[in-house]
Structure 1
Amino acid sequence: MQWGFYDSYTSQFPTFENATTVIHIHGALLMAWLVLLVIQPMLIYFKKAKLHRTIGKVSYILGPLIIISMFLVGKGSYWRGVDVFSEVENLGFMALDIRGLITFAIFWALAMGYRKKSAAHMRYMIATAILAIGPGVGRGLVASFDLPLFTALTITDILDLVIVGVLLGYDLVKKNDFKPYLTVFLLLLGGSFLWQINESNFWQNFASYYVELFY
């Protein structure tokens, strides 16, 4: 994440000329979520299940706040892009924000819904971490190797699918419940497809309607 966001965010400290208050809040919320994803399995490993459950209650507040921040960041990105990109490009970029918002919301809701079924809960929480690969690694590939954004995010989409595919295959071989990772794989595949057709009439019409309805 720091590799990907260094040029566009971290390196601007302390002025952050190109960042809004919403972007700051969004970044802080997501970093808090990633810290939570590191701490929680460690607590289980060290047999601190009670503390794990206590800290886990933060997810009920943090999750919805992240979802709201994702929506607001997407809205801000669209309006900042109006005078910079063509309408087709600007509506195309919305595929990133909308798919991120929807998939995070679904994975968070499923993780909370399956909180008493640890195997499924764990897998959906891992899925929320995998969503961070695209924004972090994608921007890193663009900044370090001067790749086009479309190419960089196509690479990270493939990486996401490979990781989840391996985890799904492991569950199938071990005869574990494969439905969580299958759900994650299919949702990520759908999001990847939307990025590939972001300039199609279907997506452009949908994104235009979304802007009229929500922005």
Structure 2
Amino acid sequence: MKTRKRAVAFEKSGYYFIGLFLLAMAGFWPSYFAKFFDGTADFTFYFHFHVFFAVLWIFMLIAQPILIFQKKFELHKKIGKLSYILVPLLFISIILLAHSTLRGPQENLGLELWVPAKDLLIFSFGYGIAIKYRHTMTIHARGMIVAGIVLIEPALVRLILYTFFPNEGFALSGYIITLVILYGLLFALIVAERKQKTGRWVFPFALALYVFVHSILVFQIRIPPWQAFAEWFAALPLT
């Protein structure tokens, strides 16, 4: 008797992205949201600009699979087309925020800029897959999930650092814990998808990209061309 190959129920992923929204709120609460209540919010326009579009993106991640689950395909397509406007604006917000916060010594600019750049790289992979295969729902959904997973790291690492390492600033051990959780999630998706014939390459490819980008940060690998680009970027009159 053959066992039925069960695929991940991607159409229900919107409910999991509600958890992502709550994680983002918890992770950024001490450093951003709470400051509006204690009167210490002194953020530049670029912070608010980025938060606005990041929240809109999370709301889209929540709504789209729920609409598929409810068979509201036309509304799903209409909202999906809005991503052609939202995603470029989200990219611009990340670029402007990164430029406005580059304040470290010049020799560290490459690694400092790599933090947002790696997120843009993974996001571009996930969103690019989703758009290229927008007519193949199973692959499209995997791409959108990768584009959503990108948002987990910045929120989760802040939550872990504030909770378990409140007096240490940036603790490498807290970052490693974040990576273990993130990689555990990707491994779980790979295992769950191991018997599928369509699109199971998406999550392994995403994992390989994550290993690449994180290796540069964890091992402080300096790439001269990237360092030169970071110095050029920091000197631009953008913010």
Which of 161, 164, 175 matches 2:186? 164
Give distance in 2, aligned partners of 1:102 and 1:9: 25
Shift of 1:197: 2.1
- Is residue 214 of structure 1 aligned with residue 228 of structure 2? no
Shift of 1:137: 0.9
- Is residue 108 of structure 1 aligned with residue 127 of structure 2? yes
Query: Secondary structure at the residue paired with 1:57?
Result: helix
| Residues 1:93 and 1:149: Cα distance change in structure 2 (over 3 Å) | farther
Aligned length: 207
Q: Which residue of 1 aligns with 2:76?
A: 52
Structure 2: 5+ residue runs without aligned partners?
Answer: 1-23, 235-239
Give distance in 2, aligned partners of 1:74 and 1:68: 10
Q: Which residue of 2 aligns with 1:155?
A: 177
> Deviation per CA, 1:122-162, whole angstroms, max 9, x where unpaired?
01101111111111110011111116443222222222221
Amino acid at match of 2:36: F
Give distance in 2, aligned partners of 1:207 and 1:9: 30
**Aligned-pair RMSD on alpha carbons?**
2.0
Q: Which residue of 1 aligns with 2:163?
A: 144
Structure showing greater Rg: 2
Give distance in 2, aligned partners of 1:156 and 1:7: 18
- The answer as to whether partners of 2:124 and 2:147 remain within 8 angstroms in 1 is no
Query: Secondary structure at the residue paired with 1:173?
Result: coil
- Is residue 6 of structure 1 aligned with residue 6 of structure 2? no
Q: TM-score, normalised by structure 1?
A: 0.87
Structure with greater helix share of residues? 1
Q: TM-score, normalised by structure 2?
A: 0.79
